Amino acid sequence: LTSRGWGRRAAINGRRALPAALGSALQLKVNCQVESKREISSSLPAFGKVKDFLLADIGEGIAEVEVLEWAVEPGSQVEEFEELLKVQSDKAATEITSPYEGKVVELLVGVGDMAKVGKPLCRIEVEEDDSEPSPGGGEQQSQSVDVAAPTAGESVDEEFKSGKVLTSPAVRRIAKENNIILSNVVGTGPRGRVLKEDVLNYISSGAGVGVGETPGSTSPPAQVATPAAPKKADMAPPSSTFAPVAPAADDQVVDVRGLDRIMVQTMTKAHTVPTLLYTDEFIVNQLQEARSMLKPVATELGVKLTFLPFIVKAASMALLEYPKLNTNVNDDACTQYTIRAAHNIGVAVQTDSGLLVPNVKNVQEKSILQIASDLAELQMMGHNGTLTKEHLQGGTFTISNIGSIGGTVCKPLIVVPEVAIAALGKFQSLPRYNENDELFKATTMNVSISADHRIIDGATVARFSNLW
């Protein structure tokens, strides 16, 4: 489920032609009243063949995706494999590209709506033959306005070819025909995208060159009279040193989309599970000693060794003795469950898109250094946005390292269909007594375990914690 891979598959599977349609060269706005009351725009095609672009079946049982953002609008010229939109599926966001070269006629799904597999996302007008589309793509022609560019024509051509400004090829063509540098135009579209209206408004305003001027011409600067210094008697008294209090910001309404929407669904489902919470304190002085011993070896191998690989491996060893905690529930009614042989332990990773929980596969077969290497790779892929469904699915037990941020005890929510999750608290230096009643400085870590009480009883969780 790579970004370009999915888009390419969608581009191949989405080729299906509709009968040719004729229409006016004037663009029409069609307001489609959808459940979320969003506006979906369309423009009638000019002369060409209109094709529906379908959302391809990407497998893995996915029936729908959420539209995060459209990169085009009705009337935009698109090239083959140019980005059309971004969508969110499960916990992976990706972009879908165009299978055709032509003009976008209509967007059939709005931002924030759920797109169904096999249903059309948009309509694209393509040429009947293999010839290149004419400039403007059949859009309404605006009256030409004689406005000179602020720089020479070579810079306009250079910017037109480089594509540095976020906009569509049709808008670039209009800018080039009118000798406009797009970087001087303020974009009002998503992510600062320069729309056709922005360029037309820029042209009509005559921005960039004064009346009667030509590019390259210079006029002497106007002489500005320097005001005389005010007399002491006329000077105003010093202002107060207290700045005025800024008014409170307006309330902001935020739509729940993307990973936030998935978190709502996941946590709502987790809240239906009868949950047992168990907390305990671990003394980790020996863990610190073991890490100090192995850290030089890990450094030589190029592996960053933290405490987490030790904790993950120790959890796997405890799961071998208490395999019921390494279980997946097979149905919502909990009529059947599967004790998993593989220990696929999930660890939360913070990314720019939100919190993801990839899992280290087959921990029971790996060494501490192998686990450390896998964790570092998953964290890097999370920050780069390259985690796939294979990394996010198939978990059997989850560990939340919330203590790396702060806190000691919390109640983690189970990741359904798993039956147990553990949250690690922060390390603390506290006085404790050993088995000989001798006071010593202990490094402690609180561990909070939530378990599905329909399957796991408190005694089993306590014994698992003691062994861990």
Q: How far, in Å, CA of 410 to CA of 51, rounded? A: 53
Q: What is the 3-state secondary structure (H, E, C) of 320-350?
A: HHCHHHCEEECCCCCCCEEECCCCCEEECEE
Question: Measured between alpha carbons, how far is 189 from 413 in angstroms, rounded to an integer?
Answer: 39
CB within 8 A of 442, min separation 6: which ones?
Answer: 283, 285, 429, 430, 431, 432
Copy the structure tokens of residue 33: 């009243």
Residue of 90, 113, 280, 453 with catalytic role = 453
Q: Calculate the CA 213 to chain-centre distance.
A: 47
CB atoms within 10 A of CB 163: 11
Q: Contact, 72 vs 86, CB < 8 A?
A: no
Residue 383 backbone phi and psi in degrees, to 5: -70, -30
The question of whether 457 is a catalytic residue gets the answer yes
Identity of residue 213: E
Closest alpha carbon to 272 in 395, 416, 394: 416
**122: which residues sit within 8 A by CB, 6+ positions away?**
52, 53, 72, 84, 104, 105, 106, 107, 108, 109
DSSP 95-154: EEE-SS-EEEEEE-S-TTPEEETTSEEEEEEE-SSSSPPPTTTTPPPPPP-----SS-HH
**Which positions ≥6 away from 359 have C-beta within 8 Å?**
344, 345, 346, 347, 391, 392, 394, 395, 396, 398
* Single-letter amino acid code for the residue at 428: Q
Sequence-distant (≥ 6) Cβ neighbours of residue 386 within 8 angstroms? 2
Beta bridge partners of residue 52, listed in sequence order = 16, 123
Catalytic residue status for 453: yes
Active site residues: 453, 457
